[in-house]
Chain A
Amino acid sequence: MQWNWETVTWAAVALLLFAAETMAPGAFMLWLGFAAAAVFLIVLVVPGVPVLAQVAAFVLLSFVSIQVYRTWFRGREPRSDRPTLNRRAEALIGRVVPLERAIVNGHGRVQIADAFWDVTGPELPAGTVVRVVASRGMSLLVEPAV
Chain B
Amino acid sequence: MGLSAVLSVVLLFAGVVLVLKAVRVVPQGYEWTVERFGRYTHTMDPGLHFLVPIMYGVGRKINMMEQVMEVPSQDVITKDNAVVKVDGIVYFQVLDAAKAAYEVAQLEVAILNLVMTNIRTAIGSLDLDESLSKRDEINAKVLVAVDQATHPWGLKVNRIELKDIQPPRDLVDSMARQMKAEREKRANILEAEGHRQSEILRAEGDKQAAILAAEGKREAAFREAEARERLAEAEAKATQLVSDAIAAGNVNAINYFVAQKYIEAFKALAEAPNQKFVMMPMESAGVIGSIAGIAELTKEAFDRQPPRVVPPPPRAGG
Contacts and interface: CB of A to CB of B under 8 A. Distances in A.
Interface of A: 26-28, 31-32, 50-52, 54-56, 58-59, 62-63, 66, 70, 77, 85-89, 113-118, 137-138
Given A86-B29, A89-B95, A115-B159, A28 B4 contact: no
21 contacts: A26-B25, A27-B48, A52-B8, A52-B11, A54-B8, A59-B12, A59-B18, A62-B19, A63-B18, A66-B19, A66-B50, A70-B50, A77-B47, A86-B31, A86-B65, A88-B66, A89-B95, A113-B158, A115-B156, A138-B96, A138-B151
Interface centre among A26, A54, A55 (most CB of B within 10 A): A55
Contacts of B23: 27-28, 31, 66
Contact of A56 (B11, B18, B20, B143): B11
Given A28-B23, A31-B23, A138-B156, A50 B14 contact: no
B93 interface: yes
Interface of B: 4-5, 7-8, 11-12, 14-16, 18-20, 22-23, 25, 28-29, 31, 46-48, 50, 64-66, 93, 95-96, 143-144, 147, 151, 154, 156-159
A58 B15 contact: yes
B119 to A, nearest CB: 17
A62 B20 CA distance: 10
A31 B14 CA distance: 16
Chief secondary structure at chain B's binding surface: mixed
A69 B23 CA distance: 11
B96 A59 contact: no
Contacts of A26: 25
Given A28-B20, A138-B151, A138-B156, 11 more contacts: A31-B19, A32-B16, A32-B19, A55-B8, A59-B14, A59-B18, A63-B18, A66-B19, A113-B158, A115-B143, A115-B156
A70 B52 CA distance: 13
